[in-house]
Amino acid sequence: MSHPLASYAAVVRPVVDRLHVAVRHASRPEVQRLYAPLGLVPGLEINLLYALLEHPVPEAAVAARMVYLPFDPAAEEARGLVRRVDGCWEWTAAGRELAVGVEAAFASAAERLWSYRPSPSLPGLSAVAAALPLLGRLLEAGEESGGPVFRAFTPAREPEGASEAALLVALLEALRHHRADAHRAAWGAAGLTVAQIEAMAPGPEREAIEAETNRLDAPVYEALDAEERLLLLGSLGALGDGLRAP
């Protein structure tokens, strides 16, 4: 049986993903500059940045986060940014120093994108302020329904003195993983491997996996009433992304 908010979960998903992609894209030059002196490119650590900045992350949660990506634990440790200790991944000193810089790059990119108002009808940073408390309630509600990666990212990172744009980046990252956990659960329950789900063509089987993902993701949105859900969707949708077709 579907969930009454499954359609909302489906609609809000690309809105959240668009902002994630926008911040990563806009911050890429600065992130590359931070990695260049180390002779490295981003790896495991950038995919778990906000979680690792708060606490060590269990190996099982890291493996789940990296399930769609090339992942060699020994090779990751050899890069010198993260290490395994007592069943968890944590920063090395060099890794944490880099991570703080990357976090600042994400925050700066978000502030730049979301403060831009090419039309007076666009809300700019007031949309960020409107979305923040709603997202906070969603993350609290997700404690009951979230999977291992969501739990690694929550409570979301909210460092003292951070801008509202910086906070929104961290909260959106956590919310994305509520759905990502739901998606892994959906194709796993269907008896599929990661290779099979990645190779699956559009069609009834794919639609069934997406429907189950929406069903599993939907309960978190019960924390908001209908008006608040509309406000969240509108606020996030009004934020600029700086993206353009090549």
Name every residue whose Cβ is closer than 8 Å to that of residue 163 and which is 6 or more positions away in sequence: 107, 111
The SS3 of residue 84 is strand
In the predicted model, is pLDDT for residue 1 greater than 80? no
d(CA 135, CA 214): 18
In this prediction, residue 221 has a pLDDT band, given cuts at 50, 70 and 90, of: very high
In the predicted model, is pLDDT for residue 245 greater than 90? no
DSSP collapsed to 3 states, 116-171: CCCCCCCCCHHHHHHHHHHHHHHHHHHHHHCCHHHHHHCCCCCCCCCCHHHHHHHH
In this prediction, residue 217 has a pLDDT band, given cuts at 50, 70 and 90, of: very high
Lowest-confidence range among 29-33, 79-83, 99-103, 156-160? Answer: 156-160
- What mean pLDDT is reported for the chain? 97
By residue count, the chain amounts to 246
Q: ∠ CA 216-227-212 to the nearest 5 degrees?
A: 15
d(CA 179, CA 10): 10
Residues forming a β-bridge with 88: 58, 85
pLDDT of amino acid 213: 98
Per-residue pLDDT reduced to its tens digit, 133-145 = 999 999 999 999 9
Contact 142/122 with Cβ under 8 angstroms?
no
Q: For residue 194, what is the enclosing H or E element?
A: helix 194-199
Share of the chain above pLDDT 90, in %: 98
pLDDT of amino acid 170: 98
DSSP assignments along 25-55, one per residue: HHHHHHHHHHHGGGT----HHHHSHHHHHHS
Rounded to two decimals, what is the model's pTM?
0.96
Per-residue pLDDT reduced to its tens digit, 6-34 = 999 999 999 999 999 999 999 999 999 99
